Amino acid sequence: MDVIGAGLGRTGTASLQTALETLGYGPCYHWKTLLEHPWREAHWHAALDDMASNHTPRWGEIFQGFRAAVDWPTAAFWREMSEAFPDAKVILTARDPEDWYESFAQTISITIGATQPLPATRAAIAEHYGLTADVPGGSLLVHRVIAQYMFGGRPHDREHVLNVYRNHVRDVVDRLPAERLLVFDPAQGWAPLCDFLGVPVPDTPYPHVNVRNDFWKLMSSPKNMPPVGT
């Protein structure tokens, strides 16, 4: 693992994924990786279980074959991953908290609020974790990582979510040495990213993907409509 993305979803993480792969740091793990390969969700349930029992998750197994990782679930575990991969550089994509919240509230937060019945096998898993069969977002992992682990079961409490976001940014900046961390606004383009990684600036424009409309196109894709991990 060469690059760890500590920025939460809706901070330009999809654009960063594309940028890192353009720069040769691919493949790059992103939440979309779970949509494309639902079987990988089991890795994260195991990681959460390991952490709950004070065991170290099998990070090498989760990220086998990947040179970089951004977005959720990665960003929720940036601290543990930065320790597991001490030579990896960390990129914190960040934006104005109020702007970030508006984007989060109109995309990810809505999927957390939606419900859809789970197949019998996943309903059994939900029961194991003390969840209802109609899990918000239709994904146990969305519920466990974002709603519960990240936002303490309060993903629709505006002030709480904003405080979590601000504290997250502050913790990353405070805990990592400056030479290992890049606080990055995608609007800055290639220059600070390439300088941080020590690679040449590409001739192509910095990517700008997964804007709000693209998010809903992705989520409404037929292959992504069933609950993740069935």
Q: Which are the contacts of 2, defined by CB distance < 8 A and separation ≥ 6?
A: 25, 67, 68, 87, 88, 89
Task: Give the amino acid at 35.
Answer: L
Angle between helices 97-105 and 158-175 (to 10 degrees): 130
- Burial-class residue 118 by CB neighbours within 10 Å (0-12, 13-18, 19+): buried
User: What is the CA angle 100-104-107, rounded to 5?
Assistant: 140
What share of the chain has pLDDT > 90, as a percent? 67
Q: Would you state the pLDDT for residue 141?
A: 84
Q: Tell me which of 26 and 130 has the higher pLDDT.
A: 26
State pTM to two decimals: 0.83
**pLDDT tens profile 44-77:** 999 999 999 999 999 999 999 999 999 999 999 9
Instruction: Compute the average pLDDT of residues 129-139.
Output: 47
Spatial neighbors of 45 by CB under 8 A, at least 6 apart, are: 125, 140, 141, 144
Share of the chain above pLDDT 70, in %: 79
Question: Is residue 230 pLDDT above 70, yes or no?
Answer: no
pLDDT score of 134 more than 50: no
The pLDDT tens digits for 162-182 are 999 999 999 999 999 999 999
Contact 34, 41 (CB under 8 A): yes
pLDDT score recorded for residue 227: 35
pLDDT of the residue at 221: 44
* The domain made up of 3-108+178-224 is a member of CATH 3.30.43.10: no
* pLDDT value of position 209: 81
Mean pLDDT, to the nearest integer, of 137-141? Answer: 62
